[in-house]
């Protein structure tokens, strides 16, 4: 069957019957007031994976409701492959790419550090004309800002994860809410190299407690936890990355305090 897009009202063949070989059947919404983004992504994914797509579009809410009732599903889009219903976009992604939404990954924090490094290099070349030791300092301070912003997106979620391992937060709950603001603020001041007398001690304080907490949880207690370093509900494992984050903050703070003497 060639690739085609048509309205559900014009379709007579059952999806399980039409989905054979490399032909996939996809039902998705294309209403006058709503073009389903998950449906578009499902279509793109099927195309990318080499399927000929029998693309069936809902044009009215009544058609969507009737389809859900007939097939016993709660959402659309819905895809069929090899005569069987796979499900929506997330199910399709898992089946075709092996993606696991619960898998632990360092990818978010690696992207963040990469952006911080490129920003530090850009600042160094733009303002100093070369890469110097200040580049490393900017990398650390910009990383602090970006990490702090991730936490500030969902302070409640961050504080919950943070309480799993941070020693001070477990003794005094408000610390979990304060931490993101201190980290972000210290990073901003360090980037501008202003109010060092305030920024450096603040960073040294939170980073020292953080390093001790992570080391105890991971390397002494041998606990397998998710890191709150990029905010709540992340799949980044607690361990080397979080410890490195804290050690970098400690190093930056110590150097800045030493330069003040």
Is residue 77's pLDDT more than 90? yes
Is 102 a member of any domain?
no
Question: Do 72 and 148 reside in the same domain of the chain?
Answer: no
Last residue of a domain, one of 72, 97, 122: 97
How confident is the model over 128-150, as a mean pLDDT? 93
Question: Do 152 and 229 reside in the same domain of the chain?
Answer: yes
Is 93 a member of any domain?
yes
Question: Do 113 and 231 reside in the same domain of the chain?
Answer: yes
Cα–Cα distance measured from residue 42 to residue 55, given in angstroms and rounded to the nearest whole number: 10
Site of tokens 């733009």: 126
Question: Do 112 and 93 reside in the same domain of the chain?
Answer: no
Is 30 a member of any domain?
yes
Is 196 a member of any domain?
yes
Last residue of a domain, one of 71, 97, 123: 97
Is residue 14's pLDDT more than 80? yes
Chain mean pLDDT for the chain: 90
76: domain CATH number is 3.40.30.10
Is 61 a member of any domain?
yes
- The reported pLDDT for the residue numbered 209 is 96
Question: Do 119 and 181 reside in the same domain of the chain?
Answer: yes
Cα–Cα distance measured from residue 157 to residue 176, given in angstroms and rounded to the nearest whole number: 10
Peptide bond into 255 cis (omega under 30): no
CB burial class (10 A; 0-12, 13-18, 19+) of residue 161?
buried
Question: Do 129 and 52 reside in the same domain of the chain?
Answer: no
Count of domains for the chain = 2
pLDDT confidence of 11, banded at 50, 70, 90? confident
- The reported pLDDT for the residue numbered 224 is 82
Cα–Cα distance measured from residue 166 to residue 95, given in angstroms and rounded to the nearest whole number: 37
Structural domain boundaries enclosing 41:
4-97
Is 134 a member of any domain?
yes
> How many C-beta atoms surround the C-beta of residue 51 within 10 A?
21
Question: Do 112 and 74 reside in the same domain of the chain?
Answer: no
Model-wide pTM > 0.85: no
Question: Do 178 and 50 reside in the same domain of the chain?
Answer: no
What is the percentage of the chain residues whose pLDDT exceeds 90? Answer: 71
* Alpha-carbon dihedral sign for residues 207, 213, 219, 224: negative
Question: Which of 37-46, 190-199, 222-231 is predicted least confidently?
Answer: 222-231
Is residue 232's pLDDT more than 80? no
Question: Do 234 and 167 reside in the same domain of the chain?
Answer: yes
Give the tens place of pLDDT for each residue, 179-223.
999 999 999 999 999 999 999 999 999 999 999 999 999 899 988
Question: Do 86 and 125 reside in the same domain of the chain?
Answer: no
Is 204 a member of any domain?
yes
- The reported pLDDT for the residue numbered 107 is 81
Question: Do 112 and 239 reside in the same domain of the chain?
Answer: yes
> How many C-beta atoms surround the C-beta of residue 42 within 10 A?
30
- The reported pLDDT for the residue numbered 231 is 67
Residue 202 phi/psi, 5-degree rounding, is: -65, -45
pLDDT confidence of 91, banded at 50, 70, 90? very high
Q: What would the 3-class secondary structure string for 50-98 be?
A: CCEEEEEEECCHHHHHHHHHHHCCCCCCEEEECCEEEECHHHHHHHHHC
Is residue 22's pLDDT more than 70? yes
* Alpha-carbon dihedral sign for residues 29, 61, 82, 6: negative
Q: Where are the beta strands (DSSP E) in the chain?
A: 4-7, 23-31, 34-35, 52-58, 78-81, 84-87
Is 62 a member of any domain?
yes
Last residue of a domain, one of 53, 76, 97: 97
pLDDT confidence of 2, banded at 50, 70, 90? very low
Question: Do 161 and 241 reside in the same domain of the chain?
Answer: yes
How confident is the model over 111-136, as a mean pLDDT? 94
Question: Which of 56-65, 202-211, 221-230, 251-260 is predicted least confidently?
Answer: 221-230
- The reported pLDDT for the residue numbered 1 is 41
What number of CA atoms fall less than 13 Å from residue 27's CA on the CB side?
30
- The reported pLDDT for the residue numbered 261 is 75
**DSSP code at position 238:** S
């Amino acid at each position: 069957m060639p690739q085609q897009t048509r309205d559900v009202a014009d379709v007579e063949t059952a999806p399980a019957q039409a989905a054979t070989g490399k032909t996939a059947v996809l039902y998705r919404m294309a209403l006058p007031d709503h073009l389903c983004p998950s449906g578009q992504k499902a279509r793109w994914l099927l195309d990318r994976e080499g399927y000929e797509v029998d693309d069936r579009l809902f044009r009215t809410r009544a058609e969507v409701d009737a389809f859900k009732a007939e097939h016993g599903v709660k959402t659309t889009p819905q895809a069929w492959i090899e005569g069987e219903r796979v499900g929506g976009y997330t199910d399709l992604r898992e089946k075709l790419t092996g993606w696991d939404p619960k898998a632990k990954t360092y990818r978010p924090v690696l992207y963040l550090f990469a952006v911080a490094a490129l920003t530090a290099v850009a600042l160094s070349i733009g303002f100093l004309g070369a890469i110097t030791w200040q580049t490393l300092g900017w990398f650390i301070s910009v990383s602090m800002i970006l990490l702090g912003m991730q936490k500030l997106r969902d302070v409640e979620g961050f504080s919950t994860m943070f309480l799993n391992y941070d020693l001070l937060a477990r003794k005094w709950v408000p610390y979990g809410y304060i931490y993101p603001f201190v980290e972000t603020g210290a990073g901003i001041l360090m980037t501008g190299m202003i109010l060092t007398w305030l920024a450096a001690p603040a960073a040294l304080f939170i980073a020292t407690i953080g390093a001790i907490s992570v080391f105890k949880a991971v390397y002494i207690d041998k606990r397998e936890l998710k890191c709150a370093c990029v905010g709540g509900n992340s799949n980044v494992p607690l361990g080397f990355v979080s410890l490195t984050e804290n050690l970098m903050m400690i190093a930056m703070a110590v150097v800045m305090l030493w330069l003040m003497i």
